[in-house]
A and B are shown apart, each in its own frame.
Chain A
Amino acid sequence: MKKTGNMNIAELAAFICTHLNNSGIKCILTGGACISIYTDNKYESFDLDFIDCTYRSRKQIAEELGKIGFIENNRYFVNNETKYFIEFPAGPLSIGSEPVHITNELVFSTGKLFLLTPTDSVKDRLAAYYFWDDKQALEQSILLSQSQRIDLKEVERWSKAEGQINKYKQIKKFLLNKSK
C-alpha cells in the first residue's frame, strides 16, 4: 500500500472511502474533487467533500479518520503527510432539491471510491453557479463536459426543475460544443 503522502487525489479519496465503508460509514465524494478525478487533474482540488449517507456522528467519523492519520481541524480533517484535506458537508446526498440515488464506483489500488456520476457532477457544479453565482464552478462543469460523456438532456431537465432554465440556455452552448 502506498503511503498517504504519495497518493494522488483519486487514490487518497478511494483509500478514505474504503476505510470508512469498512467501518460501516458509507460516504460519497462530491464537489470539486470529482472534477479533478474526472478531468485527470485539469482542475486541481485539494478539498475532498464527502457526504455521509449513514448519518454518523461527527465524533464517530473523527474516530475512524484518526485511525488513518487525519485529525480534526475546525471543519476539516487534515493529515500532515498530504496536501489534501477532508470535509463533510451536511447531507443528505442531493443536487439542489433532488436526491441522488445512483452513484459511480471507481476502483484504485488503494480501494473503491463512490462518487457522483459525471452528469451529476456537472449538475452539482452548475448548482453552485446558479445559486451562488460561482463562475469557477461553471468553468469546472465545462471542463468536465470536455473530458466525460454528459447526459445534457438530464442536465436540462434538472435545470428546469430547479427554475434555472434561462441560465441553462445561456450556458448550454459551452457544454454542448465541448461534450463528447
Chain B
Amino acid sequence: MTGNLITPKTKELILIYLAGRKEGYAREIANYYKMSLSPVQNQLEHLENSGIIYGKHSGKTIIYRFNQRYPYYKELIKLLEKVLLFLPESEKVKLLVTRKTTKKKR
C-alpha cells in the first residue's frame, strides 16, 4: 500500500489500522487482518521501541496509539491519511467504522 516504503507488510498494516481507528490492541488487529497474533505482537513491540507508537495498559490488554512525541508524527499521519484515501471504498468503511462489541448478558 505504501509501495514497500514501510516493511514488513505486517508493520504497514498495523500503521494503517491505527491511522484509521486511532487505537487498537494486538488481538483486535490480528483478527481484523486474519493474521496470526505473534507477528502482530512483534511488530507492535518493534514500533513501540522505535517510539512511533506507545502502549497503555487497560487491564490485561495493551492499547496502542500513535506517539505524538515521535518527531515525525505529523508527517507520518499525513502520509497514512493519504494511504487511507487509496483504500477501496469497502475497506475504508470497514476500517473507519469501528464496531464496538458488547458482551452478551448471561
Contacts and interface: CB of A to CB of B under 8 A. Distances in A.
Interface string A105-142: 00000000000000000000001101110000000000
A80 B64 CA distance: 33
Given A97-B73, A97-B74, A90 B67 contact: no
A90 B50 contact: yes
Interface residues of B, number: 12
Q: Is the interface of A mostly helix, strand, loop or mixed?
A: mixed
Interface string B47-78: 00111001010000000000111011110000
Contact of A75 (B49, B54, B56, B73): B49
Contacts of B54: 132
A92 B51 CA distance: 10
A24 interface: no
A130 B69 CA distance: 9
Q: What range describes how many residues of A lie at the interface? A: 10 to 19
Interface of A: 75, 89-90, 92, 94-99, 127-128, 130-132, 162
27 contacts: A75-B49, A89-B51, A90-B49, A90-B50, A90-B51, A92-B71, A94-B71, A95-B69, A96-B68, A96-B69, A96-B71, A97-B71, A97-B72, A97-B73, A97-B74, A98-B71, A99-B71, A127-B69, A128-B69, A130-B68, A131-B67, A131-B68, A131-B69, A132-B54, A132-B56, A132-B69, A162-B68
Interface of B: 49-51, 54, 56, 67-69, 71-74
